Copies of this chain bind each other. A is one copy, B any other.
Amino acid sequence: MTDAAADPDTPPVPPPSPWNRTRPARTSGAAARPALTRDRIVDAAFTVLDREGYDGLTMRRVASVLQVTVSALYAHVSSKDELVELMYTRLFDGFTMPAPDPERWQEQVREYAHFGRRRLREHRDMARISMAHAPFTAELLPHVEGVLAIFRAAGLPDRIAAEAGDIICTYIDGFVLEESLWQDRMTAHGGDGSAGGASGDGRDMAERMRNYLASLPAEDFPHLRSLAGLMITDSSDERFDIGLEIILRGLASYLPDERSKGGKGIKGGENGRGEDDRNDTA
């Protein structure tokens, strides 16, 4: 790049052999470069995304990962928006909705939610991308259909079933987005630069946040103080399951009969840790 060949005037410091320009290689080895394609561009975009975050996702950087000029990308992708949309549709690769089983509808929704969260966390800032792409794209129509099928098969009223998928998806996206916001704030506030300690992972940020909440004036923020330990946890897995369970219970309350009210998975999901539900408080 910045070759300055064929530009005889003012070559301030001549690069090696500016004349006789021939592209670096291309013809030497057989598969010098494996030919640019949409998929390779999307792969490179994920590389940049994971390394630099969404704000650092730049067409120029994507091109440099592929060792290619920016304009070359535009032969395969019409715009950056389209590239991001291609990344978005990757979210749903390789997940086929299960056939609805009315007896296991809550478990099926849990599996779907866990899969979604895992996928969102596989790439940095992926929740931000997903959040900006909520409405129906053709690629995710089967997923919407599958979720609707589960809810209707379970016996939910139509008006509730129509809303349920939206709520679940919004919850997943929003939860992961919030997770990543904390992570970003953590790395921004010198989490990595601090010498010793817990390897700069989210641990110390949570610790700092809890300390901050605990330092609030007790007369103004009694609840925030006493719930700090529950709101800011080292691992968010449990919090995710709790929120999911709240929504599932809300949905279940619209079931005509009270079946699945005493089912297996209503309480803690996979990891049934102690501490009964309805405890002290008040």
Contacts and interface: CB of A to CB of B under 8 A. Distances in A.
Contacts of A255: 278
A190 interface: no
Copies in the assembly, this chain: 2
Given A163-B242, A254-B278, A227 B131 contact: no
A254 to B, nearest CB: 6
A100 B170 CA distance: 28
A157 B145 CA distance: 35
B181 A144 contact: no
B279 A157 contact: yes
Contacts of A141: 216, 221, 224
B242 A160 contact: yes
A227 B135 CA distance: 15
A243 B167 contact: yes
Contacts of A148: 223-224, 227
A277 B227 contact: no
Nearest to A134: B178
Contact of A167 (B159, B247, B254, B282): B247
A254 B250 CA distance: 10
A145 B223 contact: yes
Contacts of A216: 141
12 contacts: A131-B131, A142-B221, A145-B221, A152-B282, A157-B277, A157-B281, A158-B280, A159-B230, A246-B254, A249-B253, A250-B251, A252-B253
